[in-house]
Structure 1
Amino acid sequence: MREDRSAAGRSGGLAEATSVARPIGSARERSRLDPDARWLAAVMHSAFFLLLLASAVRFLQHHRGEPRAPWVIALSGALAVVYGAGLVLGITGEPDVGRPTRAHLLWLGAATALWTVLVLLAPSFAWCAVPLFVTGLRTLPTWPALALVTGVTVLVVVSQNRLAVGFDPTLTMVPVAVAAVSAGAITHMRRQAVRLRESERLAGVLGERQRLSMEIHDALAQGLSSQAMLLQAADRTWPADPGAAHEYVRTAAEIGGQNLAEARRLVQDLAPSDLAGATLPEALAAVAARQPQPPTEFAVDGTPRVLPERVQSTLVRIAQGALANVAEHADAGRAALTLTYLDDQVLLDVADDGAGFPASAEPDGGRHPGHRPGRGHGLAAMRARTAQLGGTLTVESAPGQGTVISVAIPVEPRP
């Protein structure tokens, strides 16, 4: 079907002459959206409460009835409440901002202080330190976090050796090794996450920059080129025919107003102004009508139907950019813009009878062969827009035989 409706066939007599790509939410939002982060947090918090319960049970098994027992149980309950309050308030993980808030510091300080007193009263609570200093590593900046881990580790080593008869190298080295591995792994992961977020932010900035540059090229270049041609024509005809020159100037002013409206819509990230209150064929007809040189015909093939807004905006932007290229580079006498509705795709062809170029002359960047540095994006922008919608763009051209740019974008098949 695509061959039956080729660009050359749809472009009528003109075809005979043209035989021819928004950084990053808060830490809490990232954790909410990341299933791995949720899983890690659930395991860590569950481990803390399990270790706290196990330590309390062990203490009661060996020290029930001792004067310190009520204090140990009360402090265990208080630590559980403080830790649980941090979970409810959402301050047990990475801060949303670069540095921990006062709430983070108060919560972590209270939990650490309660745990320290517990360990001094009952060394069996020492192993609650593992999820506690993991939380500290995720909450504090690197150096304060490492200082906290060092202090907690020293306290664990001292408390465990109190339980042993004499010096026990295992109880000394194991806590140090666990702390070192945990601190190294978590610090590495945090730095990797920072680098990843920075890469994502940079990619977002570059992507937005590319989008804006394409929008400016496709939306404004056609109007500016038309204005320049009209004003040049007015300058040439003013001495002989002031009335015609005045008409050229009036038309250029209208196009300037249209460009101003388009620029405002770009700032607001809206659809092309030609689509405001208009159908896609009407918008493309307006784009063709604003092309003073070369004169551009517009035609519709097939039965028009409503298309997604993004598809309509893309087709209008491509038409604007393609006609701007024709006006600036093609040296054409005529151009044609054809919109074709098929069952499962929509096609847009932009044809001209200009100078054309051999297929091998198209630069890698996809710009028109007449492109000059700093003058826009041309075919590269059109290809990027088309690819974003899963479509294809083809160029058919030959020296002296004009050019046809054909865009095919898939859409929902007709019912």
Structure 2
Amino acid sequence: MEATRKFTTPVIKKGKEITFIPKGSSKLAQTALNVWYVEYYYNGKQVRVKGGLNYHNDDHLKKQYEADVLLQSIKDDLANGYDPNNPAAFIEKEKKELITLDEAIKIFKDYHVTHQSRSKTVSTYLSKLTALSKHYPGALLKDINTRMLETFVQSKVDDGTYAHNSVKSAKRIIGTFFNVMVKKGYSTVNPKEGFDKKIKSTKELEEKHTPYTDADVKRIFEYLDANDKYAAFFCRMIYYTCVRPGEIRGLQVKDVNLKNNTITIRASVKKNPVDNKNQIIEIDRNFIKELEKLNLSQFPQEYYLTGSTMDIVGKKQVGINTPYQKLMTALNNIDKQDVIDNPHIKTSERITNKGYDLYSFKHTSNIKKYNAGWTLSQIMKANRHGSISMTEIYLKKLGTFTDTKHLEVPAI
């Protein structure tokens, strides 16, 4: 035995040597009547494993077959690190090594639910990971390598599913997934490392978060003020405060201080509660009158600022998609009226096909701030962004809303 080994080679033990064979029997048949077991020594201590071998004392061939199977399995287990003094650890190790990609994705989901990640974030993660699992049905987690990940993403590019941002998102999500698997001991490496950076998509991105034109934003608020006071308030709040829709849903009456003209974004409400600190934002004077209309002093402090689609302020949070759906309903109704007024209107000119959504109010607000003379750093602060580059994302459509025809190029 080599000095580094903890165990001796397992062998089959078949009991005492047969010295008497009854008439009509055989040595093999008599040997089968003995108690059999597999024996080896682990760190000098004798280990015997019977493993159900002695249920077939009347069938030597079957007993021999099962003994051979048991012997080989014990050899394999020992070679893979089995410790007879701690079998539970080996079982756990085996379970992790044999986990499928599907099972790993469920563990990843539970991990994020436990860490209270936003449901929308988890849903985005799962959509990409489920697609990966469907691409490699029944695959073990340990078998997924970098080349397989590249093949999967390239297939999504080739069939037109992934645009450029989707490719970046898929890489990020896959990397995050395997980081969690490594952290929890289900994987030793992250196969996303070394991913081919040349995999890109030329697919046109679907327009979304498009800033509103002055004409369209006027039409929308005229419709909302007449037909949906709740959506009108919610959309104005996004425009004037640049607070994220998900955060607005979580604001309570106690968070609004009209004496100091401030709103507190509690850490539990923030999209990214990394620092676990509340944030205070100032209320724009144009939005103060909208808040004063609510007569907040009449409501309990724990009521939600946008908790009722009927009365705006309410006892419970509205559904996560409710504000978005109400805006989309308004846009659809405006669209229908446009078609009635002008049956020949181009599809691209319809208000529902311009990429407008809730975040469009935030983009519009930032562009109007910039054109009104706000600096990038001031806009960054108003958005509670961590960097100028993040703020610049909201200004990428700036050129569309900037008029230069009356400007003169300075002479040289």
Q: Indicate whether the TM-score tops 0.5.
A: no
Q: TM-score, normalised by structure 2?
A: 0.21
The structure whose residues are more often helix, as a share, is 1
